[in-house]
Structures are given as C-alpha cells and as structure tokens.
C-alpha cells in the first residue's frame, strides 16, 4: 500500500498545476459538454503514458531528445493557436455566453482533448519519464503506477464534474470574457515556456 500512496501523492502533485489540459477540462465542465468522455480520455491517456514509463519508455525518450523537441514545437504552435481563439472570444464574445451556445461534436471535443494532452511535452516528462523513473524505486512499481493513475482519475473527475458549481458565477458574458482572457494568457505563457525549454 505504501507504493500506491506514494504514486498517488506524486501524480497529484504533478497534475494539479494549472495547464492547458486542466483549463480545457474546466471549460468543458462549466459548459457541461461531453464531460465524462473528456475526463475518461484524460485519465486513460495518463494511465497509458504512466504504464509506458514504468515499462521503460522513459529511458527511450531521454535517449532521443529530438522527439521531445518536435513535440515541444508542435505543442507551442497548438497553444498559441488556442490562445488566439480564447483571446478572440474574450474580445468579441457575441450575444451568447458559452453556456448558451450549442455543443461541439463529441469527436471534435475528444480530438481537442487529445491535442491538449499529447502535444504537451510536459505530459511526457511528468508521466513517462518522472513517474516511470520514480516507480522503479519502489518494491512494487505497478502498485505505484496504480496509485498514480488513481490520482489522475480523481483529479479529472473532480475538476470536470466539480466545475458545474461555478456555472452560476459564469452566467453572464463578462465572466466568460474574463475566463477566456485568463485562459489566453495561461496558454501564451505555457507556449513561451515550451519554446524556451
């Protein structure tokens, strides 16, 4: 059980930081749009990447930094693009709040979710490299991975489903403009940090 709790603690410490993926899950939760599929996609992707790291993929990635460099540039481009969309929503919101707008298709939502997850080099450093390396230090590395994956699932369920309690605060267009402006700033900061290494 010690390995499970250690994995849970490490994963939670890594995942709670505000980032592109968390901002996307929060937005989906506020809109109540495809929340369960988004939450399960995020948690399942984390679990697969953690398992790959524990199985040894972390050593392969650290030996081939060109892969992480390519993902870094692609991720930065994606984040700049999403920042531009969020900034546009903040500056020209239209008459409806995002709560009133029709939902995106499930396919488009999940592709966006996967882009936020897989185009972020930090996800590989956190899940594949770090969790994979730390897991090797424990008597049961797979129990450690189980704890890490459980923390990811708990976080995304709490973030996605808990966001509904914030919806009354965001019933007005101006509140969404502030949220979108904040998301745009966070995306730009993350993109610049990726480019700067």
Residues 44-76 have pLDDT tens digits of 999 999 999 998 887 776 677 787 777 778 878
If pLDDT is split at 50, 70 and 90, which confidence band does 195 have?
Answer: confident
Higher pLDDT, 60 or 97: 60
Q: What is the pLDDT of residues 118-135, one digit of tens each?
A: 887 778 878 888 888 888
If pLDDT is split at 50, 70 and 90, which confidence band does 95 have?
Answer: low
Q: What is the pLDDT of residue 157?
A: 94
Residue whose entry in the numeric block shows the structure tokens 């994995």: 7
If pLDDT is split at 50, 70 and 90, which confidence band does 197 have?
Answer: low
Q: What is the pLDDT of residue 99?
A: 61
If pLDDT is split at 50, 70 and 90, which confidence band does 100 have?
Answer: low
Tell me the C-alpha distance between 17 and 165, whole Å: 20
Q: pTM of the predicted model, to two decimals?
A: 0.75
């Amino acid at each position: 059980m010690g390995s499970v709790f250690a994995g849970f603690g490490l994963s939670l410490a890594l995942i709670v930081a505000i980032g592109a993926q968390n901002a996307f899950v929060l937005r989906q939760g506020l809109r109540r749009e495809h929340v369960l599929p988004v939450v399960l996609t995020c948690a399942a992707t984390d679990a697969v990447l953690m398992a790959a790291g524990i199985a040894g993929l972390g050593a392969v990635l650290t030996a081939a930094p060109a892969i992480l460099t390519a993902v870094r540039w692609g991720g930065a481009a994606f984040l700049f693009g999403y920042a531009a969309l969020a900034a546009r929503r903040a500056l020209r919101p239209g008459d409806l709040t995002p709560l009133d707008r029709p939902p995106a298709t499930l396919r488009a939502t999940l592709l966006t979710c996967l882009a936020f997850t897989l185009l972020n080099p930090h996800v590989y450093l956190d899940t594949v490299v770090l969790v994979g390396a730390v897991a090797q230090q424990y008597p049961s590395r797979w129990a450690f991975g189980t704890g890490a994956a459980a923390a990811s699932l708990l976080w995304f369920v709490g973030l996605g489903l808990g966001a509904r309690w914030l919806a009354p605060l965001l019933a007005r267009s101006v509140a969404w403009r502030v949220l979108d402006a904040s998301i745009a700033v966070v995306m730009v900061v993350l993109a610049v940090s990726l480019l700067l290494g």
